[in-house]
């Protein structure tokens, strides 16, 4: 692939066309690219425009998302639709997933999650991770901005940091740490402080012993998990 760098990256506005797709709105912009909600005559999609300057510097990094998404097929992961490449543009189209990010739900809408709903959400993420880890993929970025929720189904998005597991730099335990932090965000939505004293999460949250131990092992405070299957087993036990 040859990328010419004497063109400045164009930022597309609503109603402009990118190939056969019409831009509906800009979702966000990061270091490596710009994300749009786009549509054609049939449906809506997500289009990720990759910045060509970053492509030249970091193609080895930004290329992982495309390659990994092309090789997975899961109802809770955006499917890879097609690549768009020409002199002034490089990017790819992904399946649009319904829902709102947990970041918006928690911090913008003030959503409170009850214990049973947290268990259902956690189990869905574990099942997604089980699918990925069994295919030698680690996501490495399971955070509240990268998880969508439609009130029933959870979808995991943004595979920009995803890599193939190599048991050296890219290992499964990073996903476990992120999962623990994600679950704590949900638990804290119902937390009401009784005083102004600063305490560790395991001292101030109203959690059962099995839940505390499970979270501590996810986050490496206690002996770390080595397998998503062990995580699944203990999560089920902790939520009974």
Task: Give pLDDT tens digits for 171-214.
Answer: 999 999 999 999 999 999 999 988 888 899 999 999 999 999 99
The span from the CA of 225 to the CA of 163, in Å, is 19
3-state helix vs strand vs coil in the chain, percent to 5: 40, 20, 40
Residue 196 φ then ψ, to 5°: -95, 10
Structure token pair of residue 164: 């193939």
Integer-rounded Cα Rg, in Å, for the chain is 20
Q: What is the pLDDT of residues 148-174, one digit of tens each?
A: 999 999 999 999 999 999 988 999 999
H helix runs in the chain, sequence order? 52-70, 102-103, 115-134, 173-187, 201-204, 209-218, 228-239
End-to-end CA distance of the chain: 52
Of these residues, 40, 141, 150, 210, which one is catalytic? Answer: 141
Q: Which residues of the chain have pLDDT under 50?
A: 1-6
Domains of the chain, each with CATH number or no CATH:
17-95 (3.30.200.20), 100-239 (1.10.510.10)
Reply yes or no on whether 141 is catalytic: yes
CA 221 to chain centre: 23
DSSP sequence for 120-166? HHHHHHHHHHHHHHHTTEE-----GGGEEE-SS-EEE---TT-EE--
The interaxial angle of helices 209-218 and 173-187, nearest 10 deg, is 140
* Residue 239, number of CB atoms within 10 A of its CB: 17
Exposure string for 47-69, b = 16+ CB within 10 A, e = fewer? bbbbbbebbeeeeeebebbbebb
Smallest CA-to-CA distance from 101 within 140, 150, 160 is with: 150
pLDDT value of position 194: 84
Angle made by CA atoms 138, 143, 149, in degrees to the nearest 5: 105
pLDDT value of position 165: 97
pLDDT value of position 53: 73
pTM: 0.91
pLDDT value of position 41: 84
The answer to whether the annotation marks 73 as part of a ligand binding site is no
The span from the CA of 205 to the CA of 182, in Å, is 15
């Amino acid at each position: 692939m040859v990328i010419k760098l004497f063109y400045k990256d164009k930022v597309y506005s609503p109603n402009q066309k990118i190939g056969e797709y019409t831009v509906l709105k800009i979702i966000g912009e990061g270091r490596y690219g710009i994300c749009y909600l786009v549509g054609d005559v049939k449906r809506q999609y997500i289009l990720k425009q990759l910045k060509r300057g970053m492509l030249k510097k970091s193609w080895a990094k930004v290329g992982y998302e495309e390659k990994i998404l092309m090789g997975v097929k899961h109802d809770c992961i955006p499917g890879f639709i097609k690549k768009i490449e020409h002199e002034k543009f490089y990017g790819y189209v992904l399946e649009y997933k319904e829902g709102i990010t947990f970041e918006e739900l928690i911090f913008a809408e003030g959503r409170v999650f009850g214990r049973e709903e947290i268990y259902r959400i956690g189990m869905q993420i574990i099942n997604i991770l089980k699918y990925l880890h069994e295919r030698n993929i680690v996501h490495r970025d399971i955070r509240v901005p990268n998880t969508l929720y439609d009130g029933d189904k959870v979808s995991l998005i943004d595979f920009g940091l995803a890599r193939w597991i190599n048991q050296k730099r890219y290992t499964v335990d990073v996903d476990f740490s992120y999962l623990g932090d994600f679950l704590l965000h949900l638990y804290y939505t119902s937390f009401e402080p009784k005083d102004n004293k600063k305490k560790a999460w395991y001292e101030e949250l109203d959690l059962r012993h099995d839940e505390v131990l499970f979270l501590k092992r996810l986050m490496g405070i206690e002996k770390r998990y080595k397998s998503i299957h062990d995580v699944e087993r203990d999560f089920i036990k902790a939520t009974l």
